[in-house]
Structure 1
Amino acid sequence: MSESMTAATSTPNPTSTPDPRRWRILGLVGVAQLMLILDVTVVAIALPHMGADLDLRREALTWVVSGYTLAFGGLLLLGGRAADLFGARRLVLAGLLLFAAASLTAGLATSEPMLLTGRVAQGMAAAMLSPAALSLIVTIFDGDERNRALGIWSALGGSGAALGVLLGGLLTAGPGWAWIFYINVPVGIVLLLTLRSQLPAQAAPATRAALDVPGAALVTAATATLIYALIRAGDHGWTTWTTAVLLLLSAFFYAGFVARQRLAVSPLMSVRLLTRRPVATGTVLILVATALMIMMFFLGTFALQEHHGYGALTTGLLFLPVAVSTMLGANLAGRVIGRTGPRTLAVTGLAIAAVGLAIPAIWDGAAPMVAGMTVGAAGTGVLFVVASATALGQVAPQEAGLASGIVSTFHEFGASLGAAVVSSIAAASIAGTSTEGFTRGFTTGAIVAIVTAVAALVITPSARPR
């Protein structure tokens, strides 16, 4: 969603001749983007089965989710720079090739290191492919057609979540969990070969800014250290010296990243832009919204399958109303935010999310859990729209691209942190020794939503987004 706003700021070239293949290309890169989005949620249903077949610990199961989103978010801005430097066409084709190879590695995995290597490589490929694909859409469409194309691109986010849970259930219950990765291989290869012949040749890019590899390494290392500290705390305690040292090390890496961005000739992001109230508020809201969404998926898939005894297919079907509710909440927020303003919607969305998360925390059973997650998902859907509109609605057109990249990065980091936090809180329940962890997990999510709602009331600008 936020990336589409980036593209919308580009200036059309009325003298250019539209490429007759543009809608076909949109369909192809749209499928590629959908594949990337699917891989965030498609693994949720399969996690218990992966753990049983590969004898994976809780920490490893958490990294199956966080490893992908961490690499995706940590390298996303670097991928956008690389598309400018080397050409979007090259990055799309290279990203598809790497994604197919990484998916094959994950599907063939017979051990924890092999599976996690595949997932991290998938995230790296996604960071190359996603911004480059969007760049192609901006290049080949102009005017009103560009707006229509970006509308289609934006719709892939919500549909990807819904299709992910359903596809994960179908494949896990059918041929097995490995096929949630295998299916990417033929799709990726077909897309690669087709796009190679369909994409127009590109001239050498005019932008010659250097890639800030040290900056990307620092922010990824900082977030990875933080996630490791949170995951480890579930078994070893939150007040141990090791946890404290890891948290301090993460803070050190983040400080190094800020210093690097101030000194780099071509920084990944503008730290100055992050200090602006609308952008800072938007990043906080997108971080919390994504973390809450992943918390619900992570807790729900283990509770429904391990505690309530549902199969993978049934679990996938039970998650469909959750995914649909997210889309409906986002759609409604997009329609009314111009009249209500972001502050009212932010507080309302967080309050709805808190109520939804409180339901399974108070009442045990599959029905209250699904009902609660469905209500909570409507609130997170509202937050996704508010976060993007707040961060991007008050920036100058020439800054919208950078602000959008920042929001997209925090979206992926939110998924990583959400999985890590809830995995530690619900460690005993995920390991199958009790059910109290699920209650603690949903309770924590509700408290986070309430605290953020109070903060949003103070920090969210009242001005309506432009």
Structure 2
Amino acid sequence: MRIGLRKKLVLLIALMSYLLTALDNSLVLTSLTRIQADLHLSQISLSWIQDAYGLAFGSFILLSGRLGDMYGRKLMMEIALALFAVSSLVTAISTAAAMTIASRFVQGMGAAILAPTSLALLVDYFTEPMLSKAIAWYSSIAGLGMSIGLILGGILTSYLNWRVGFYLNAAVALGLFILSVKTLEQKQAAQADSRIDILGSLASVIGSGLLVYAVNGARQMAPFMIAALVILAGLFVIEKRVDNPVLPLKLIANRGRLLADLSRAFLVAAAMGFYFFDSEFLQEVLHYSPLLTGLAYLPMTITLFVVAILVPRMVEKLDNQVVLLSGSGAIMLAFVWAVFVNGNNYLTILLVPELLLGVGQGLALAPQTNLAINGVKPQESGAASGILNMFHQLGGVLGIAVMVQMGIKLSNGQNFAGQFHLAMIAGLVIAVLLVLMSILIYFNHEGRK
């Protein structure tokens, strides 16, 4: 196969695989009411349709990134796509709550492998300047996938059936699996020592899983949160003493990379919280159908895509730090508008924040990714990608949890419009923290010049 063609196909595999992980999560949001009616689910079972995916994703992300370094991207990509295809098909034909929840959990495991492996593939196959362009496209996929999933979910739910989306997922994953078998090379196994850090792997899976469950599923958060923090603290102790750690501590000991990872968590926390309440506001207050709710995200989707295309040139001229700070500022302005501008329709309340979020994410995501993998050796690119995606996933879970708690518990029985306003205040606080983190990243870079 010609080198140019192989690289184009690798880019397609990486981008489409990452798109699947984002698309699958949002596809469900506009379909939950129909899924509940079709499968006769209780409210608790319905919540686990979403939570099972996020729990598995958050639990296995660290381990998955490291396994790609140890056993090669080709093998891990094929395992992930096989898991994703089979579990999507099972979800599509499911007739019971337990079957659906289990298949969604397996989907989350597949997504946990796909996310870091797809980014590591780009690092393996591309060099500058094409690498910066590929990373910009990769980084924009998370926001695009969320928006496209909401639109597609609304269309399918309104005109066909919620199961069609999972059939499509299975077909795309199968096609990518076949393409991976024929395209990817075996050379990606970069670790000579392939012994698994068993204790570290168990601690990362259990600790991350408990952390996700504590904020996204547990009725009593405190005991699960404490257990998660104790186990994750134990993970750091373990990783100091092993030769082949699942979490190479030197990757987060680097201040620049750690700040980039933290800024990703704040960005995704703000964005996911907004998506959640935006969707609910459109349906509960403005009485939009699932289809119209999905279409309402189209301006943000287009904006994010267009800005993401421009980012590589902007980074080349202005540096990652300046572009990241600009994007963070746009996200903060989105929440300023949502908090302080009053109105009773989509154009007044939501359109401007959506456009600003599209600009902000388009500007910020690629620089964060660049900074998070900057200077990482090829044999550790999977681990670095896993860490970034762990912060991405946990940020989304925490953002929704914080904004929901703020909106519901402090609203004192207000209607949803009141809950929305309180949630946007919480989102503004998160966005301010994102800007402060971006300022630290800027001065950390300036101090090293």
TM range (shorter): 0.7 to 0.9
Q: Secondary structure at the match of 2:240?
A: helix
| Alignment pair present for 1:418 and 2:403 | no
1:263 aligns with 2:244: no
Match of 1:449 in 2: 431
The 1:136–1:450 alpha-carbon spacing in structure 2 relative to 1, beyond 3 Å, is closer
Q: Normalising by structure 1, what TM-score?
A: 0.79
Match of 1:355 in 2: 333
Contact 2:407 2:422 in 1 (8 A): yes
Q: 1:439 to 1:192 in 2, by over 3 A?
A: same
Task: Identify the range of structure 1 (147-156 vs 170-179) with the bigger mean alpha-carbon deviation.
Answer: 147-156
Residue 206 of structure 2: aligned partner: 221
User: Against the structure 1 CA distance between its residues 203 and 36, is the aligned structure 2 distance closer, same or farther, given a 3 Å change threshold?
Assistant: closer
The one-letter code sitting in structure 2 at the alignment partner of 1:434 is N
Decide whether the 8 Å contact of 2:15 with 2:138 is kept in 1: yes
Residue-by-residue CA offset, 1:84-128 (whole Å, 9 max, x unaligned) = 444433333322221112112323344444333222211211233
Matching of residues 308-457 of structure 1 within 5 Å: 308-331=286-309, 334-337=312-315, 340=318, 345-362=323-340, 363-365=342-344, 366-367=346-347, 368-393=349-374, 395=375, 401=381, 402-427=383-408, 434-435=415-416, 436-457=418-439
Name the counterpart of 1:10: none
Unaligned runs of 5+ in 2: none
CA deviation after TM superposition for structure 1 residue 57, in Å: 6.3
Instruction: Give the corresponding residue for 2:221.
Output: 243
> Taking structure 1 as reference, are residues 437 and 106 closer, same or farther at Cα in structure 2, changes over 3 Å only?
farther
Residue by residue over 1:316-349, the C-alpha shift from the partner in whole angstroms, topping out at 9 and shown as x without a partner, is: 1101112233334545554444555555555543
Separation of aligned partners in 2, 1:160 and 1:445: 21
- For residue 294 of structure 1, the aligned residue among 252, 265, 272 is 272
| CA apart distance, 1:372 | 2.0
Partners of 2:16 and 2:309 in 1: CA distance: 22
Letter aligned with residue 174 of structure 1 = Y
Hey, what's the Cα distance between the residues in 1 that align with 2:181 and 2:403? 42
| Aligned 8 A contact 1:282 1:390 in 2 | yes
The structure-2 alpha-carbon separation of the partners of 1:321 and 1:213, relative to structure 1 and needing over 3 Å to count, comes to farther
Matches within 5 A, 1:24-173: 24=9, 26-28=11-13, 30-54=15-39, 63-133=48-118, 156-157=141-142, 159-173=144-158
Report the alpha carbon displacement of residue 209 of structure 1 after superposing the two structures with TM. Answer: 2.1
Match of 2:215 in 1: 230
Question: Matched residues in 1 for 2:16 and 2:324: separation?
Answer: 31
How far the C-alpha of 1:252 sits from its partner, in A, is 0.8
Q: Secondary structure of the equivalent of 2:247? A: coil
1:203 Cα offset (Å): 10
User: What are structure 1's unaligned runs of at least 5 residues?
Assistant: 1-15, 237-241
Deviations 1:283-309 (A, max 9, x none): 110001111111121111222123321
Partners of 1:299 and 1:346 lie apart in 2 by 25
Separation in 2, partners of 1:299, 1:93: 36
Q: Deviations over 1:256-295 (max 9, x none)?
A: 2212222233112222332332122111100011111111
Q: Could you tell me how far apart the structure 2 residues matched to 1:216 and 1:203 are?
A: 21
Alpha-carbon spacing, 1:143–1:299, altered in 2? closer, same or farther (3 Å): closer
Q: Normalising to structure 2: TM-score of the pair? A: 0.82
User: What is the aligned-residue RMSD (CA, Å)?
Assistant: 3.8
Secondary structure at the aligned position of 1:268 is classed as coil
**Aligned-partner Cα distance in 2 for 1:356–1:347:** 14
Bigger mean CA deviation after superposition, 195-204 or 357-366:
195-204
What whole-Å deviation, never above 9, does each CA across 1:399-457 have from its counterpart, x for those lacking one? 87244442232112222222333343445899x98313222222210122124424543
Q: 1:307 to 1:176 in 2, by over 3 A?
A: farther
- Distance, in Å, in 2 between the alignment partners of 1:53 and 1:428 is 31
Q: How far did residue 164 of structure 1 move?
A: 2.3
Please, which moves more after superposition, 412-421 or 148-157? 148-157
Q: Distance in 2 between matches of 1:343 and 1:205?
A: 30
* Counterpart contact for 2:190–2:378, Cα < 8 Å: no
d(CA) in 1 for partners of 2:137 and 2:337?
34
* C-alpha distance after superposition, 1:359-405 (max 9, x if no partner): 33442533312332332342233332342344344x36568724444
